[in-house]
Amino acid sequence: VGEVWRLGDLARWVGGRVQGDPGRPIARVATLERAGPDDLAFLTNVKYRAQAERTRAGAILAAPGIEVPGHDLLLVDEPYLALAEILDRMHPPTRPAAGISPDARVATTASVGLEASVDAFAVIGDGATVGDRAVVGAGAYVGAGCTVGPETTLHPRVVLYPGTEVGARCIVHSGAVLGADGFGFATSGGAHRKVPQLGRVVVEDDVEIGANTTVDRGMLGETRIGRGSKLDDLVMIAHGVVVGPGALLAAQTGIAGSTRAGRNLTMAGQSGVIGHLTLGDGVIVAAKTAVFQDLEAGAFVAGIPAVDHRSWKRSQSLVRRLADMRAELHDLARRIADLEGKTEGTT
């Protein structure tokens, strides 16, 4: 009973080219594995080439140059980007009904924008500002003096400590905590005295922050997540870090205090960067890596400690051959002893 489109419509949406029947009806998008004759599947990762051969999908979205016999194709230069466009058109995002739940507690000095939605058990503190068409989910906490930009969504149970600023069109997932105290202690005689954390967190526009991720406030200044950055779940950004714009931080990554990253930092899962470093633009950090030194723009690093990823690969492959090297070393030692014996004899 859903809407049905023609393959040619989809091609028009994304500036693509149909190879096959542009009139083919498309009911939905599905994975290669699950798609049926009315579905558009997509081949955006070469790992799934074999699945494409046997898919029952009516049509396949792919990059030019791909051939999948027996299937209509929708060819476009950036198929993953096209997929986003097609899905957005087929499933326009919905917003919850505007209005403030009678079960929310909004301070009289707070301001909630036009068509904003504040769900049950949310708390909005003194002097906080929630922008137009913003969504504050159930049980979310917006501390005193916070700013939530227009069209931003705070999912249920997000916590913004007082003074946190979140830009426009951001998405903050459940359980994320922005603005908790940075981890700053002065240790003297074995005791750790708390250093007051008086700064704040600033999240620029178009940022997405994953579930249960934590971004701590600066000690005095800001912790800043630059425009268009995307943080996955369970990421940790410590006090005073500046990251972005355009950072892409996968799950369970962490950046320690005061480190500053340039544009488009990419960190794969479970990697980390220690504090007080400077990373140039476009740095890529492989999964599980630990960065202990400043990095030039464009660096692609791996390992603990992080080194150029090709060096790391070479080292790791050599580590795997250490037993051979050791055997060869023993063999050479034996042969040298032999030679020494003979040479001894000859002189």
Among this protein's residues, is 91 annotated catalytic? no
Q: Judged by CB under 8 A, which of 150, 163, 210, 226 binds its own copies? A: 210
Tokens for 73, please give them: 């194709």
Neighbours of 261 (CB within 10 A): 28
Q: Judged by CB under 8 A, which of 36, 37, 196, 298 binds its own copies? A: 196
Q: Judged by CB under 8 A, which of 70, 97, 108, 320 binds its own copies? A: 320
Selected range binding its own copies among 1-9, 12-20, 50-58, 168-176, rule: CB under 8 A: 168-176
Burial of 114: CB neighbours in 10 Å, binned 0-12, 13-18, 19+ = exposed
Strands lying side by side in the sheet with 236-237: 105-106, 123-124, 141-142, 159-160, 177-180, 214-216, 236-237, 254-255, 272-273, 290-291
Q: Binding string to its own copies for residues 265 to 304, with x set by CB under 8 A, is what?
A: ---xxx-x-x-x----------xx-x-x----------xx
Q: How far is CA 174 from CA 89, 164, 226, 284, 298, in A?
A: 26, 16, 20, 27, 33
Note whether 64 binds its own copies by CB under 8 A.
Answer: no
Note whether 5 binds its own copies by CB under 8 A.
Answer: no
Note whether 149 binds its own copies by CB under 8 A.
Answer: no
CA–CA dist 55, 256 (Å, integer): 45
Backbone angles phi, psi at 326, to 5 degrees: -65, -40
Q: Judged by CB under 8 A, which of 88, 114, 296, 310 binds its own copies? A: 88
CA–CA dist 125, 13 (Å, integer): 43
Note whether 322 binds its own copies by CB under 8 A.
Answer: yes
Compare residues 131 and 245 and give the one whose CB is closer to its own copies: 245
Compute the least distance from the CB of residue 47 to its own copies, in Å. 5
Q: Which of 239, 276, 309, 330 is catalytic?
A: 239
Active site members:
239
